[in-house]
Structure 1
Amino acid sequence: MRGSWEDLEGGIAVVVRLERGYVADVTVASTRRPGLCRVLEGMPVEVVPSRVSLLFRVCSAAQEHAARTACEQISGLPPAPGEQTRRQARVILETFREHAWAACVEWPRHLGMAPDVGAFARIRSALQAIGEGLADWPDKRLEEEKLRVLAQTIDRALVLGGRTWEGPGALHSWAMLGTCPAARFLRKVWDEDLAEFGRCSLRPVPDMMAWDLDGALAADVDNRFVSRPEWEGEACETGPLVRMSGHSLVAELWQRYGNGLLTRLVARLVELVGLSDRLGQLLNGLSSNSASLGIGGNRVGLGQVEAARGRLAHRVKVEGDRVSRYQILAPTEWNFHPRGPLWRGLVGMPAGNADILQRQVGFLVVALDPCVAFTVQVT
């Protein structure tokens, strides 16, 4: 029996249909509830952000950040000095935790291996230490030692020895050593010739003008857009692969293997390794906080945040002092669109053993990283 959280959050069911040795079709069905956020409607607008953080256990910092951005636009009251940066720092910590969980725990589980819970526990402890320090920031500067410890924990978890991957050759050598779960996962991808598995042509979610996104959400009376989002008639993709596409290693892998399984996994690892530096630059004022985009006026607010899995948008409309309509567009709906990466990357490819294909499709789903449980069936 599924637990109450799973009942609320729903899941993703992927069915791959084979015909004459090829993948004839892929069905991606979601039992997620896009209307779940309607429980916020009728509430006073000032209590909504705190309720949002309680409503969603996955990426709750990003959800709250988007909600506060949207609600502040309506009130016309900007956050206190440093608060916007503090929120973004919490989103980075959350992204760090989600990526580390994938690399240390989720990936080995799908290989049938024991997760590295010790490495994840050390990372989580370092993240908690920084999170506690954020309460006094910027009045009290965050200790640089905490950032160094965080960088050291991920270096130790990935057995990098203080070095990052200089290119595909160095990455391959690291993977073949198999000294950590993430390396073993990549070695499996190379051993089974899966580097290009799932490769397809798919546009990234564009940097939409806030007014355009607001118009699409305002017209979405039947939840079709938030449950099956498209832009200009096309399914799109968001997440680490899009964010890291300009990184030299990811770009070189993309040139060789397209946006296949290997490139997707490495994009997650590259982002993970770089997050401690990104956090330090943010808190030291060396980078701008541009992760939240929105609108204001007409008693409507729209907050956009780059969460761990991709672009997250909250739209709130208020009548009087209460919420009359609340909408959330989550990255999972972009990445698991019925005609999204799974359908585009798998339909038409040759297929042999159904059990092997089921496991390999599972790898691709893990790389796309839904925020809910999933199943894969091959028929």
Structure 2
Amino acid sequence: MSSLAGRLCIDVQHATDRIVAVTTNLQRPLEHISRLLTGREPEPALRCIALLFSICSNAQQVAAVNALEQALGWQTPLEVVRARQQLTELELIRESLLRLAHGWELPIAADQLKRLVSLCQHGISALQPMAGLQALADDPQRGELNTALQQLAEYGQQLQDIGSCGWLMPRLAHWSGITLGGAVPEALEPTRIEPLLAALREGRVTAEIDGQPRMTGPATASEITGSAGRQIEQRVMALLHGACRSMAALQTLPPVACMAQPVLEAGEGMALVKTARGWLLQRIRVERGRIAEWQIIAPTDWNFHADGLLRRQLRGIRVPVEQAETLVHELVLSMDPCLDFEVKIDHA
């Protein structure tokens, strides 16, 4: 993301070989972004989205345009809906590959990674015009795009094979004796967000449903209990398998509604879009042709809630003080935040 992205700080209190408390401080200027967009006409506001976000920028644009079209009462052609879905899936693949390669040392040759990312970027560039208001389904680059999608599908099976080679185990072996605990939050269910919509209308932009945190994306692969090594492996493999599924399905994606559409008020639109890190939500309200409200809840807001997965699983576990910072760092990395983060250990 841009310099407006914010920062994630994890403060850990450690005493007598045990983590006694975890504080998750997620600093995100979403209110500032909302104020920046409020008062603008829809098209200039939509153009701002591409400038404000660098990570998952296409997902942000697609969520925004989908919500805006709902708010304006416009019908979107099914071909455009499909193209936008392909656009966000291509971004999901690219973001997943980059995280797997640079964060988890996915055993893939540099030239092959470069080729995969290039194919994703080629498709993204061809489909980007579909993220505009009143986009037309006519696409003169469809032939070249289909070739890129086909090549990505062929690479998908190769990545599946890499996933079965156990490349993570040497790195995670020293966490096999550390057991995580705590009741994990429920997974975010896109078809059950009506309580969240009610809260957003009241101005409560919080990553909660009925007062409880949720988790989304690879974090949902977590077991209720289990070793830290096992859970990190599950999340990383969930990221890899998700990318492989997207690569295999790029050419056959049906236009789908990702949520049971709640009853919206006049001038209101809401959209959920799948990203590598989980569900991205935007709600927009338009009055007299201008933006009256623009609310965003990103996957990182769900996954790093103050009473979320990380705090619940780490509090009370036994881990030597010299290993605590590395363990927390790898757990955070396995949940794939969309911004920079730091871990601080307070040796009580």
Bin for the TM-score computed over the shorter chain:
0.7 to 0.9
Deviations 1:8-57 (A, max 9, x none): 11110111111222110001112211212320001012332222222211
Distance in 2 between residues matched to 1:51 and 1:97, nearest whole Å: 22
SS at match of 1:260: helix
Deviations 1:221-279 (A, max 9, x none): 5xxx43xx22223211011344xx6xxxx9xx889769822211111111122211121
Q: Pairwise mapping of residues 34-73 of structure 1 onto structure 2 (< 5 A)?
A: 34-35=30-31, 36-73=33-70
Distance in 2 between residues matched to 1:210 and 1:217, nearest whole Å: 11
Distance in 1 between residues matched to 2:155 and 2:316, nearest whole Å: 42
Residue of structure 1 in register with 2:306 after alignment: 338
Matched, 1:321 2:317: no
SS at match of 1:281: coil
Residue of structure 2 in register with 1:234 after alignment: 212
SS at match of 1:82: helix
Measure how far apart 1:333 and its partner are. 0.8
Q: Pairwise mapping of residues 73-84 of structure 1 onto structure 2 (< 5 A)?
A: 73-84=70-81
Superposition RMSD in Å: 3.1
Distance in 2 between residues matched to 1:370 and 1:58, nearest whole Å: 11
SS at match of 1:280: coil
Distance in 1 between residues matched to 2:275 and 2:211, nearest whole Å: 24
SS at match of 1:42: coil
Residue of structure 2 in register with 1:213 after alignment: 196
Q: TM-score, normalised by structure 1?
A: 0.78
Q: 1:312 aligns with which of 280, 288, 292?
A: 280
Greater mean deviation of Cα atoms: 140-149 or 335-344: 140-149
- Structure 1 pair 22–66 and aligned structure 2 pair: CA distance change class (3 A): same
How many pairs does the alignment contain? 334
Distance in 2 between residues matched to 1:148 and 1:318, nearest whole Å: 40
Q: 2:335 aligns with which of 360, 368, 374?
A: 368
- Structure 1 pair 332–194 and aligned structure 2 pair: CA distance change class (3 A): farther
How many percent of aligned residue pairs carry the same amino acid?
A: 26
Letter in 2 for 1:146: A
Distance in 1 between residues matched to 2:213 and 2:175, nearest whole Å: 29
Residue of structure 2 in register with 1:98 after alignment: 95
- Structure 1 pair 133–302 and aligned structure 2 pair: CA distance change class (3 A): closer
Deviations 1:62-112 (A, max 9, x none): 111111111111211112341111111110001001100011112249xxx
Matched, 1:31 2:24: no
Q: 1:188 aligns with which of 168, 171, 175?
A: 171
Distance in 1 between residues matched to 2:213 and 2:193, nearest whole Å: 19
CA contact (8 A) 1:194 1:262 kept: no
Residue of structure 2 in register with 1:121 after alignment: 114
Deviations 1:86-142 (A, max 9, x none): 111110001001100011112249xxxx99654432211111233355476499456
SS at match of 2:60: helix
- Structure 1 pair 199–189 and aligned structure 2 pair: CA distance change class (3 A): farther
Distance in 2 between residues matched to 1:204 and 1:342, nearest whole Å: 14
- Structure 1 pair 98–188 and aligned structure 2 pair: CA distance change class (3 A): same
Residue of structure 2 in register with 1:179 after alignment: none
Distance in 2 between residues matched to 1:49 and 1:71, nearest whole Å: 9
Matched, 1:264 2:266: no
Letter in 2 for 1:335: N
Q: Pairwise mapping of residues 142-221 of structure 1 onto structure 2 (< 5 A)?
A: 145-153=147-155, 158=159, 163=161, 171=164, 174-175=165-166, 183=167, 185-193=168-176, 197=180, 200-209=183-192, 211-220=194-203
Matched, 1:356 2:323: yes
CA contact (8 A) 1:257 1:263 kept: no
- Structure 1 unaligned regions, length at least 5: 166-170, 176-182
Measure how far apart 1:219 and its partner are. 1.3
CA contact (8 A) 2:10 2:343 kept: yes
Distance in 1 between residues matched to 2:117 and 2:208, nearest whole Å: 36
- Structure 2 unaligned regions, length at least 5: 130-137
- Structure 1 pair 209–299 and aligned structure 2 pair: CA distance change class (3 A): farther
SS at match of 1:264: helix
Measure how far apart 1:298 and its partner are. 2.0
Residue of structure 2 in register with 1:178 after alignment: none
Residue of structure 2 in register with 1:18 after alignment: 14
Measure how far apart 1:197 and its partner are. 4.8
